[in-house]
Structure 1
Amino acid sequence: MKKLKQVLPLVVVLAVLVGLFYVAWHGVGETQDGSMHDINFGLDLAGGVSITYQVAGENGGTPTTQEMDDTVSKLSKRVASELNTTEASVYKEGSDRITVEIPGATDEIFETLSTPGNLYFIREYNDAGSANYYDPYGMGYSAFYMLADGVTIESLQASGDIVLSGEDIADAQAGIDNSGTGSEYIVELTLTSEGAKKFATATEAAYANGWTIGIYYDGSFISVPKVQAVISDGKASITGMGSYESAENLASTIRIGGLDVSLTELRANVVGAQLGASAIHTSKIAAIIGLILIVLFMVIVFRILGVAASMALGFYCCFMVILLSAFDITLTLPGIAGIILSIGMAVDANVLVFARIREEIAAGSAVDKAIKAGYSKALSAILDGNITTLIAAGVLGLRGTGSVRGFAITLALGILVSMFTALVVTRGISSILFNLGFKAEGFYGKAKDPKKIDFVSKRNIFYAISVIIMVAGIGTCVFNHVAGNHAFNYSIDFVGGTATTVSFAEGQTPSVEDLENVIEPAVINAASTADANLKNLSISHQIVKDQNQVVLKTQTLSTDASQAVHELLTTTYGATDVTYNTISATISDEMTSDASWATIIALILMLIYIYFRFRDIRFGASAIIALAHDAIMVIMCYAFTRLEVGSTFIAVVLTIIGYSINDTIVTFDRIRENQHGIRSREQLKELVNESVNQTLTRSLFTSITTFIMVLCLYVVGVQDIKTFALPLMVGVVSGTYSSICIASQLWFSMKKKSVEKA
């Protein structure tokens, strides 16, 4: 009976794991809810919908640049709100066309997108004089009843409560008012002549009665400003903006709602995956191989604890699949990067605990007490490392757009799941295995005294190595620029390019494999032979289902290159028609700016968190410098190898930042733990060397497991996956190097001055 009680918990754990695996693999019900088959994949992995609109400006003329940019913004917001997706691409094609690419969408979205968002200025009765007045939320009579009781726009128009519409707005711009005692952020409205007359009448009544006028766009109120004067000149200012960015966002939304443009659908296609089925298949194989190798590594190195960690990793994988399905998260390559990072951090948490357990056993503690102490002592480092990465993910999720936000969402989800599996699941399984009889020290191992390496004395060498690599990278960029090429090999995601639409006869459309392995290399060769400036030409494809068409996207083709490609496709591969269109970048300046500002804000918040946790600003400063070091190293990898800088570039850099900060925090946590009674430079040097050596094995083990996963992607994956995996591998190596050789040495260099003065 006693033996049964000991075995039963393990049976329950295995049964739960098998059940979760079944759900993750097969799902629940006919729709396979919760399974990997129910996960939304991005356009690059699973295809979706591509819609191209002809944009007509005022009176059917050519739209202005401002109108095109605002229309792109409007469509981006509409897609995000209607489909709850962060992965759609919206970009300009020529001077009067806009293309929207939506992963996983159906033709039901066509009508929604082509219907303009409506902008209305609605009078709000802010007194109790109106019949049946009820205003619990302070939104005003009209607003409340429109939202709560189904009052329609038509009825509000009939009652005269709609005082202006989008067609009455001539312009809206963010500004700064310096006329008062201090600067104030505002939105400056300019009305049409007809709008000015309407607004004069409306503001006269509103000002006399203390009403507000709410601005309603596309289903919700975006602002409810108070009327402070009668406005008769067609010029109005909305005050009370908390920042210039808030003012610019409101102004942009008002401009969008007031756009006098029309959208005519030119083509709407269901497109195939950009990477093809082979990319998904090989990625799955790489993931399976990587996980198997990680399990073997953990079991060989950590024995029975490795068994517990491997089982917990199984729970992690199942949880992630189920949650990705449950939350309808669209998974793309950048999202996969977030998952890879969280897997590394899940293993890292286990390695931290296991290393502590071995140290406790080596110090003479019994195994059960060593396990308890190991979790207790490792908790601080685990929490600090994961929270700093969560800060980055949170900021990127809130401020980032497109693939950056998708990366942040999967990273945050992965971190939370990894912390749960490492701190709860692994610990529970370890306890069960201990109670089953695995109590001898031999099942766990002892920490060996690490070989003392004097890292501090070698710090100038480490600094020099990093500087040399950076200088060489900068020199490479300059050389490429002088040679007539870009400093980096930018993809069309960043610089725009040419979309070549290739039509084939019925039944002659090439397969994904033929495109990737035969046609695309031939197109690159033909274009680069005709134009030497295109020797690093990058290319991607979309197969237009049911229309016998393929769209090839490249950097901008010259006339000679276009002719060469046209001749190749028609004479060699049987294309019946080939057309070309210039397209804008899908990664806009706004997206890049958002990602950059999000990263800066995240770094500042990390710095603040580290300061409050470590009570020493030098820890934070050293960590941030180390992060910058690793980001630069990854960027230099793109410069040296001429890898394509595309949509995954931002995600790769952010992944390494998240990985590196976690690694650095662990070393700093050990320095903080060992730091006491430091009175001389030699004692400080010994402190840093001892702490780095104590965490050296853990840093290497964590890096090895993460590197294994990415290496499998590189070895097994198709070319686009390799382009994604190689800089990740460089980043993992750099992150480990900076944590061991740079960050701690920087802290020593800053700290020694205060010790010398003491």
Structure 2
Amino acid sequence: MINVIGKKWLFLGISGALVLASVVAISAYGFREGIDFRGGTLWQVASPDAALTEASLREFLAEQGMEDAVITRENQNGSFLVRIRAITEEEHQADLAALTLKFGGAEELGFQSIGPSIGAELRRRAFWGIGFVLIGISLFIAFAFRKVSRPIRSWKYGVVTLVTLFHDVVIPAGLFAYLGRFYGVEADTNFIVALLVVMGFSVHDTIVVFDRIRENLLLGREGAGLAEVVNKSINETLARSINTSVTLVLVLVALLLFGPATLTYFVLAILVGVILGTYSSIFVASPLLVIWHAFAAGRSPGRGN
């Protein structure tokens, strides 16, 4: 049996360091916002003409007055993703005609343009969405565990879940702040969706462990001490949590390596979040319950509590 509770300060220390580093990165660098939030145009083009290369496309865009364009090559079909300022439909048609004229057989595979005002509205809704999800999940957990009030009040499960979700969201966010600052990676609506997916996975994993703790407490095992009950519950669900996570991680790694370039950072955010969600459900959420209970009972939350 793994003594997770006995080493709780080590695991919480690792999490605390990662959270602190992430908060510093977010505060210092902020996010490089995608066109979804700041406004702009995403244009996907391709051509059988070998003359269409990243360099020649950049030169063409500069001729059209778009020197600050960001170009990404799509590995799957050899097309190019171009991120530029927001343009009107008239400008779009003129640029497309010029592209077709310069590169024979050039075709447009996708076009999306978002104005700054729409981007600001999407940003506002994204933040509100994440906030409502966090609060809603916490209230649901507190309600679901209402029948278990001793030795831990049901609302404490909700609060600990909220702290755990913050842990699982802020670390990927910090990673993207770092990647945006040094590698130009953008945080767009896909990133927000990835965070919501991570939150759903994390709370599911946490509920599995909490539910086993609830069952063991209802069976009267709290007489052996809360720390022992929690540790036993973690070990009873450990194999299930790891097996589920490993299966999902393998799928995500395959998508990361062989999937389309447009989904690379979306998959990366989910991959990091899944790993963190598994870690936090085992090594963060339950130890926090034990520590909180020890403080509330007026004891020092040491190795034996």
TM-score by length of 2: 0.71
Aligned-partner residue type, residue 454 of structure 1: N
8 Å contact 1:538–1:555 — kept in the other structure?
no
1:590 aligns with 2:132: no
1:605 aligns with 2:136: yes
Aligned residue in 1 for 2:92: none
8 Å contact 2:72–2:81 — kept in the other structure?
no
Alpha-carbon distance in 2 for matches of 1:525, 1:679: 74
Aligned residue in 2 for 1:698: 240
Aligned residue in 1 for 2:5: 456
The offset of 1:754, in angstroms, is 3.8
CA RMSD of aligned residues (A): 4.0
- From 174, 187, 204, the equivalent of 1:636 is 174
Aligned residue in 2 for 1:708: 250
Alpha-carbon distance in 2 for matches of 1:525, 1:742: 52
- From 20, 35, 40, the equivalent of 1:471 is 20
Aligned-partner residue type, residue 624 of structure 1: L
Alpha-carbon distance in 1 for matches of 2:72, 2:290: 48
Aligned-partner residue type, residue 170 of structure 2: I
Helix, strand or coil at the partner of 1:610: helix
Structure 1 residue runs without a partner (length 5+): 1-451, 481-486, 502-508, 542-549, 558-564, 577-581
Alpha-carbon distance in 1 for matches of 2:118, 2:193: 12
8 Å contact 1:491–1:538 — kept in the other structure?
no
Which stretch of structure 1 is more off in the superposition, 711-720 or 453-462?
Answer: 453-462
Tell me which structure has the larger Cα radius of gyration: 1
| Structure with the largest fraction of strand | 1
Count of residues paired in the alignment: 262
8 Å contact 2:209–2:233 — kept in the other structure?
yes
| Structure with the largest fraction of helix | 2
Q: Cα 1:606–1:649, aligned 2, differ >3 Å: closer, same or farther?
A: same
Equivalences for residues 168-317 of structure 1 within 5 A: none
Equivalences for residues 557-568 of structure 1 within 5 A: none
Q: Cα 1:586–1:724, aligned 2, differ >3 Å: closer, same or farther?
A: farther
8 Å contact 1:540–1:553 — kept in the other structure?
no
Alpha-carbon distance in 2 for matches of 1:524, 1:475: 35
8 Å contact 2:86–2:115 — kept in the other structure?
no
Aligned residue in 2 for 1:188: none
Alpha-carbon distance in 2 for matches of 1:724, 1:514: 31
TM-score by length of 1: 0.31
Helix, strand or coil at the partner of 2:19: helix
Aligned residue in 2 for 1:744: 286
Alpha-carbon distance in 2 for matches of 1:586, 1:539: 26
8 Å contact 2:241–2:278 — kept in the other structure?
yes
Aligned residue in 2 for 1:105: none
8 Å contact 2:11–2:284 — kept in the other structure?
yes
8 Å contact 2:36–2:114 — kept in the other structure?
no
8 Å contact 1:652–1:724 — kept in the other structure?
yes
Equivalences for residues 94-105 of structure 1 within 5 A: none
- From 206, 209, 222, the equivalent of 1:678 is 222
Q: Cα 1:700–1:649, aligned 2, differ >3 Å: closer, same or farther?
A: same
The offset of 1:496, in angstroms, is 1.6
1:725 aligns with 2:267: yes
Alpha-carbon distance in 2 for matches of 1:527, 1:636: 33
Aligned residue in 2 for 1:554: 84
Alpha-carbon distance in 2 for matches of 1:491, 1:538: 13
Helix, strand or coil at the partner of 1:645: coil
Helix, strand or coil at the partner of 1:588: helix
Alpha-carbon distance in 1 for matches of 2:291, 2:34: 41
Aligned-partner residue type, residue 124 of structure 2: S
Structure 2 residue runs without a partner (length 5+): 75-79, 88-94, 107-112, 147-153, 300-305
8 Å contact 2:35–2:42 — kept in the other structure?
no
C-alpha deviations, 1:433-477, integer Å up to 9, x for none?
xxxxxxxxxxxxxxxxxxx22212322222222232233334444
Q: Cα 1:491–1:524, aligned 2, differ >3 Å: closer, same or farther?
A: farther
- From 31, 36, 60, the equivalent of 1:493 is 36
Alpha-carbon distance in 2 for matches of 1:667, 1:525: 56
Identity %: 31
The offset of 1:554, in angstroms, is 2.0
